Amino acid sequence: MNEKVLVINPGSTSTKLAIYEKDEVIVEKTIEHESKIIDQFKTIPDQKDFRKKTIISFLNDENIQVNDLTAIVGRGGLLRPIVGGTYRINEKMINDLEKESYGSHASNLGAILANEIAQENSLPAYIVDPVVVDEFNQLARISGLAGIEKRSVGHTLNQKAVAREVLEKKGKSYKEGKVIVVHLGGGISIGAHDQGEMVEMVNGLDGEGPYSPERTGSLPLIDFAEKIIDDSMTIDQVKKMIAGKGGLKSYLNETDVRIIQKNIEAGDSHAKLYLDGMIYQISRSIGSIAPVLKGEIDYIILTGGISYSDYLVSAIKEYTDWIAEIEVVPGEKEMEALYQGVKRVIDKKEMPKEYIEDNVQEEKYE
C-alpha cells in the first residue's frame, strides 16, 4: 500500500507543507503569510482557521484528496516536558496547546491543525520529537543554584533525525549509538545522544554554551547582572537580548554567516575575530559535553544551515576531530523527520506514545 502523509510545519509568518509517499517527497511548499495579516490575530490559536484554509488550498492545487491520506503529522509545539518519540495527538495535548499552557509559539498550531483536518476525515494525527523533549537524568538538571534547574530545550527534531541518518549509514541503530550533535543555525544547540536518548543539551535559548548569530550563549554573570540593573531591564528584554540580540548580531550587526565570510575575504579583520570567536566557543562546548558520554563517542555530527560553511566546518574539525570522527549533514531535515516519525509507526517499527499527565522519563540517577 502506498501511504501518503501530509506534513504541517507552521512558522511565525509561514506554513511549510509537504506530501510524502514511499519515503519520497511528492511536493513541498513554503507558504509565506503577510505580517499585517498575522498581526490581526490576538493569539496564535486564533490563526487556526486562516492557516487551515491555506492547507486545504494547497491540497486542492496539488489535486490531493484528504481522504487519500494515510495520516497527518504536525510540528510539535510547547507542551509539558516529554520523552522523545512519535505521539498520537489527543484531547489533552490540544487543550494544552489551545490554552498556551506552556508558552506561545507558532509551532503550537502544528498539532492543532493536523488534529482538526484529521478528525474531519477519520485519519490518525501525530507530532514527532517536539522542542520540549526531556530525557535528562537528575545530574543533568542541576544548575548550581537551588530553585533553578537546567532545561532540555534545543533543535530536538533535527538532532535526532540526523543522528539516526548518520548511524544507520554506518551500520548502527540510533538506540545503539553514542553521538554529539551540533545544530548550527541562528541559534546553536549541542546534544549528547546516548543509545536512543538525548541525555544532555547545551541550551542556547536559556543562555548556555557558545554565542551564535543571534544568541549570547554563556555570559559573565556578575557583569550581566549589573547591566540588567543599570539598564532597568524587564525579563522580556533580558530574554530578547539573550536570544535575538546577542552573538554576531551584537558584535557585527549581521547574522548571515555568508555575508560575514565575504566581508572577511574582503579583508575585514573585525568580522574574522568574532566569527573565529564563535567557532572557538562552539568547539569548546563540544569538548565540554564529551565527558557526558565518557569519551565513548561514535561521531560528532554537524548540522543546520551554517554547516554549509566550509570555513566553519574546517575550523571546528581542527579543534575537535581528536575527540571523534566528524560527519556533516548540512541544513535541516524537519519535514523529512516528521514524516519518518510517522512512517516508523505505520511500519510498526515504533509504537506511538500517548500524551498524558506525566510523560517525563523516570529519573536515572542511582
Task: Return the CATH number at 87.
Answer: 3.30.420.40
Do 208 and 191 lie in a common domain? yes
Do 179 and 84 lie in a common domain? no
End-to-end Cα separation, the chain, in angstroms: 47
For residues 352 and 88, the answer to whether their CB atoms sit within 8 Å is yes
pLDDT at position 2, please?
Answer: 63
Do 195 and 274 lie in a common domain? yes
Within a domain: 359: no
* Cβ count within 10 A of residue 265: 11
User: How many structural domains comprise the chain?
Assistant: 2
* Nine-digit cell string for 233: 531591564
Within a domain: 234: yes
Within a domain: 360: no
pLDDT at position 104, please?
Answer: 84
* pLDDT tens per residue, range 175-203: 999 999 999 999 999 999 999 999 999 98
Q: Distance between CA atoms of 97 and 227, rounded to whole angstroms?
A: 35
Within a domain: 146: no
Do 114 and 236 lie in a common domain? no
pLDDT at position 36, please?
Answer: 87
Do 262 and 166 lie in a common domain? yes
Within a domain: 366: no
pLDDT at position 169, please?
Answer: 96
Sole residue written with cell 483536518:
117
Do 343 and 303 lie in a common domain? no
pLDDT at position 261, please?
Answer: 97
Q: Which residues pair with 82 in a beta bridge?
A: 133
Angle at which helices 269-289 and 257-265 pack, to 10 degrees?
Answer: 130
pLDDT at position 364, please?
Answer: 41
What residue ranges of the chain have pLDDT lower than 70? Answer: 1-2, 357-366
Q: What is the largest CA-CA distance in the chain?
A: 65
Do 191 and 70 lie in a common domain? no
Which amino acid is located at 329 in the chain? V
pLDDT at position 13, please?
Answer: 84
Listed residue (329, 187, 211, 217) closest to 279, CA to CA:
211
